[in-house]
Structure 1
Amino acid sequence: MEKKEFQELYQLWLQGKMTGKEWALFQKAVTDVKNDLVLDGLIEADLNSNEFNSVLSDQELNLAYQRVLEKVDVKPLKLKVNHFFTNAKKWQMAAVASVLIVLSIGLWIYNAGPGTGKSGTNKNSYSANDIAPGGNKATLTLANGKTITLSDAKSGVVIDAGKLSYNDGSPLNDDLTGDVKDELMEINTPKGGQYELTLPDGSKIWLNAASTLKFPKTFSGQPGRTVELSGEAYFEVAKDKLHPFRVKSAGQEVEVLGTHFNVNAYRDEAHIKTTLLEGKVKVNDAAILSPNEEAVVAGGKIKINQVNAQEAVAWKNGEFMFNDEQLGIIMRKIARWYDLEIRYQDENMQTQLFGGTITKFGNVSDVLRMLELTGGVHFKIEGRRIIVNR
């Protein structure tokens, strides 16, 4: 990357005006050792400016510095700052800036709407009512009606030749002997749950929270491979040109031969979204997607968008990733994963746009603090309910 381009991205980062594509470029650039001297020079130049030094009070800076050290668990001398700063405040500011940029401490934030840019959240304000993240939770209902609670110490279940096992090879105490051949099996994840499923043909499916997948115990003797989805799932379909794989959702059918894609078909969302990562899929026997394209289905109509497909599968990779996303959609994702309900003091807030990236395996307070840093929204936790206000 040219020095000028890197400097422009750095300024956009400071101003909080990055697009998702620009953020991806910036992340890659700051981890390239070739840009170390340029980055250090930009940080030092900002630290020497009166404008930058007036951004934080001494008290605010000390708090930010301590939070950075707690978050990344490193000593100051290990930070990515090559210049020696004799002034203690300047050193702390360099440390904070460097960790925020280079390590990103797991998040990137911007607010597309108006805001003060400050958050009144105290670090300990959520501690008494904090909510832990979801985990591996699911039930498997056999074709004969028997329901099995799958182990939360495992991450996935395998259906193979009439046998059941976990994806680490350990067996379940149940099998499919005597199951009704023509009846569908069903795997369900609750709010706060996720699970992986391997089908008899070798296809792998990752279910997000509050999702249901119905499927036969075998595809043998069937003209195709058809499953039914409610909720969200990521698919890695085993190739079989003679037996197309179909995913049915309310108002949509996706047909594939062998590919990687994500389907978001929650009933409380206005659209069904199918995002392609690899291969090709056909949606509703009309639109054919290529990688990094997304079909949005609503009211029987299909719209195709160019997207960053990694955003659609961030949930599978352990992250929340929002890019110009409405607060209402963001909070529904949070509610599903942390198994809680949302209340708004002003319903109009749901259309406000936010962006950010953060691990989904922290407590809910971590995600709420990220959103609050924009200054455009505040939260209060009451039991398993989050109150959203300005």
Structure 2
Amino acid sequence: MGMTKSEHIKNLLQRFIKNTISKSEFEELFGYLHEIDVEEDVKDSMKQHWEKINADLTNDALKPSDNDQLLEAVLEKIDLKKSPEKSSAITTKHIYKRYAIAATITLFFGIGMGYLYYTNFINSNSKSAPEIPAEVITLQLDNGDVKIISDKESEQIVNAKGLVVGTRTGNSIAYTNNISEEKLAYNTLTVPYGKRFQVVLSDGTKVHLNAGTSLRYPIKFLNGLNREVFLDGEAYFDVVKDAKHPFLVNAKDLNIKVLGTRFNITSYPENEMINTILVEGAVEVFEKDKDTEAPLVLKPGYKASWHKQHKNINVEKVNIEQYVAWMNGRLILNEVPFEAIQKKLQRQYNVTFINNNEALKSRKFTGRFDIESIDQVMKSLSISASFNYVLNNNQIIIN
């Protein structure tokens, strides 16, 4: 079986306390905390602490002991215990203070202010750390360290214990199954705009990551547990069959469960839909935390589209090539609105748009582009729709 909801929250909480959580994971965690039905005595305690927290937020004068009771109260409400582990970079008392303040802000004022505080905290406490360029592929290790994936011919990937868990060769990382792990330890691979990457998981499953994608996965899958990964972006999965250990992809509000198959998932934060396209085999699609209900079983050649706002799934037969062409650097369009094309081009070519042509947004295009430059693509589109554009470095201005 996979992680329960409380176990998943605990995992997110531990990553936040150790300052190894990603933006999407942070938002997910605080979404859970925001749903907590906090009892009146806890609310009163939080209200009493709020004025002191708010007053001392800028001068760092708040006593750590003032927040211990508040932290414990919040943790007890979700049946979690404090992690005995300590971060080497931040002392336990300051971790508790940071968590208590963020939890208070979120529970009283919502995720917006909570994330604002978190952003300010990270910015103010990471000035001494080397800045990681936005255009590089990164790998967050199980100890929280972030490694830049270089252009070297090959290199070894190690875990927190210093043991070799995988090897990077070219644009691919392959993990070994020949290591002893007693508990799940995760790596997070992040691919920026303009690049693609492949990871071979410890069971042999191949995952192709599109531009603007992040995948969190165990260094090694453990016996008796589902093979579970977390996707933010777009990826093509070629899953190795293992009937005893189903493969589960968490894509925000949607889960996709398989035994062994090939499928593509698009789950970008800015998109209204989460799309699952089945190439081969069979998959089960169901809303997050509702795996006990009857799932939707998807057939090859069909697409399941989950609407994030309306919370419903639509199924239709599609041309598979159109949805997997990105793996080979191709772009296939079939009556696609320019607004959606613009998002694809931003990710694939790492460009930004300033579109001054409102009518163009809804204009639909059909065509095929085989590994062409962004200028070649834009020329074809502009001829088809009779618009002018200027390409300056990585910015495209449409008039």
TM-score, structure 1 length as denominator? 0.59
Aligned pair in 2 of structure 1 residues 314, 137: CA closer, same or farther (>3 Å)? Answer: farther
CA contact (8 A) 2:227 2:245 kept: yes
Does the residue aligned with 1:241 lie in a helix, a strand or coil?
coil
In structure 2, the CA distance between the partners of 1:211 and 1:164, relative to structure 1 (3 Å rule), is: same
Give the Cα separation in 2 of the matches to 1:295 and 1:171: 29
Any stretches of 5+ residues in structure 2 without a counterpart?
Answer: 1-134
**Aligned-partner Cα distance in 1 for 2:167–2:323:** 29
Alpha-carbon offset, residue 222 of structure 1: 4.2
Task: State the distance in 1 between where 2:217 and 2:357 align.
Answer: 41
Q: Residue 258 of structure 1: which of 252, 257, 260 is its match?
A: 260
User: In terms of mean alpha carbon deviation, does 186-195 or 371-380 score higher?
Assistant: 371-380
Question: Secondary structure at the residue paired with 1:288?
Answer: strand
Q: Deviations for 1:351-383, whole angstroms, at most 9, x for unmatched residues?
A: 1100111123x3210111121231343321133
Match for 1:290 among 294, 299, 304? 299
Q: What do the CA deviations read for 1:168-223 (whole angstroms, capped 9, x no partner)? A: 79999xxx999994342100001111100000000000000010000111112342
Q: Distance in 2 between matches of 1:386 and 1:313?
A: 26
192 and 180 in structure 1: CA distance in 2 versus 1, 3 angstrom threshold: farther
Structure 1 residues 69-118: Cα deviation after superposition (integer angstroms, max 9, x where no partner): xxxxxxxxxxxxxxxxxxxxxxxxxxxxxxxxxxxxxxxxxxxxxxxxxx
CA contact (8 A) 1:275 1:292 kept: yes
Conserved? CA contact 2:227–2:248, under 8 Å: yes
Using the alignment, how far apart are the partners of 1:258 and 1:157 within structure 2?
Answer: 28
Distance 1:212 1:350, change over 3 A: same
Per-residue deviation, residues 218-250 of structure 1 (Å, max 9, x unmatched):
112342100000000000000001110011011
1:229 alignment partner, SS class: strand
Distance 1:327 1:153, change over 3 A: farther
- Larger C-alpha radius of gyration, 1 or 2? 1
Q: Is the 8 A contact 1:380 1:388 kept in 2?
A: yes
Deviations for 1:96-149, whole angstroms, at most 9, x for unmatched residues?
A: xxxxxxxxxxxxxxxxxxxxxxxxxxxxxxxxxxxxxxxx95211111112222
**DSSP-derived class of the 1:315 partner:** helix
Mapping 1:57-68, distance limit 5 Å = none
Determine helix, strand or coil for the equivalent of 1:267. Answer: coil
Deviation string for 1:256-299 (max 9, x for gaps)?
11000000000111111110110011111521111110001003
User: Would the aligned equivalents of 1:237 and 1:257 in 2 still touch at CA under 8 Å?
Assistant: yes
Contact 1:159 1:217 (8 Å CA) reproduced: no
Aligned partners of 2:173 and 2:200 also within 8 Å? no
The equivalences for 1:55-204 within 5 A come to 138-152=137-151, 162-167=164-169, 181-204=183-206
2:385 match: secondary structure: coil
1:380 is aligned to: 390
1:364 aligns with 2:374: yes
Distance in 1 (CA, whole Å) between partners of 2:363 and 2:351 is: 21
Q: CA deviation at 1:157?
A: 9.1
1:229 touches 1:265 (CA, 8 Å); kept in 2? yes
Q: Which letter maps to 2:137?
A: A
Structure 1: gaps of 5 or more residues = 1-135
* Aligned position for 1:339: 350
Q: 1:191 to 1:171 in 2, by over 3 A?
A: closer
SS in 2 for 1:313: helix
Question: What SS is found at the alignment partner of 1:193?
Answer: coil
Task: Report if the CA contact (8 A) 1:158-1:197 is conserved.
Answer: no
User: Corresponding residue for 1:353?
Assistant: 364
Q: How many residues are treated as equivalent by the alignment?
A: 251
Partner of 2:245: 243
Cα separation, partners in 2 of 1:253 and 1:245, compared to 1, 3 Å: same
The whole-number CA distance in structure 1 between the counterparts of 2:285 and 2:349 is 31
Distance 1:384 1:170, change over 3 A: closer
Question: Following TM superposition, by how much is the alpha carbon of 1:155 offset from its aligned partner in structure 2, in angstroms?
Answer: 10
- Conservation of the 8 A alpha-carbon contact between 1:159 and 1:199: no
- Point out the more displaced range, 289-298 or 150-159: 150-159
**Does the 8 A contact of 2:137 with 2:149 survive in 1?**
yes
Q: Give the 3-state SS of the residue equivalent to 2:327 in structure 1.
A: coil
Q: Name the structure 1 match of 2:45.
A: none
Structure 1 pair 290/157, CA: closer, same or farther in 2 (3 Å)? farther
Whole-angstrom CA distance in 1 between matches of 2:397 and 2:165? 46
SS in 1 for 2:231: strand
Q: Match of 1:282, SS? A: strand
Cα separation, partners in 2 of 1:315 and 1:170, compared to 1, 3 Å? closer
Relative contact order (C-alpha < 8 Å, sep 6+): which is higher? 1
Per the alignment, residue 308 of structure 1 pairs with 319
Q: Is the 8 A contact 2:171 2:197 kept in 1?
A: no
Q: Is the 8 A contact 2:171 2:198 kept in 1?
A: no
Corresponding residue for residue 275 of structure 1: 277
